[in-house]
Amino acid sequence: MTSMDAVTLGQNAVSMTLLLSAPLLIVGMVVGLAVAIFMATTQIQEMTLTFVPKITAVMLAMLFFSSWMLIRMTDYTRNLILSIPDLIK
């Protein structure tokens, strides 16, 4: 295994992590922005109001995207395991 192979494995792992976390982070960001706009327009200053909608939205997004995420993770793991003989040489 050369240093280029190690760098490629690291890049693939980071890109897979970003790809899998992006939908949940985007949903959390959009919901947080909507709650912040609502709080600014109504002048509500309750800090705990931001957590419940974000947690609920991220959990629903996790339920919605979980099958896609599982497929991507298993494909990545399968390809990684199948590439072990090439990496050992």
Residue 78 banded pLDDT, cuts 50, 70, 90 = very high
CA 72, 73, 75: angle at the middle one, nearest 5?
Answer: 65
Q: Residue 76: what pLDDT?
A: 96
pTM of the predicted model as reported, rounded to 2 decimal places: 0.81
Tens digits of residue pLDDT in 54-63: 999 999 999 9
Tens digits of residue pLDDT in 16-50: 999 999 999 999 999 999 999 998 898 888 878 88
Is residue 76 within 8 Å of 14, Cβ to Cβ? Answer: no
Residue 3 banded pLDDT, cuts 50, 70, 90 = confident
Contacts of 14 (CB under 8 A, 6+ apart): none
Whole-number percent of the chain with pLDDT over 70: 100
**pLDDT at residue 89 greater than cutoff 80:** no
Cα gap 50→53, rounded to integer Å: 6
Q: Which residue has the tokens 């109504």?
A: 42
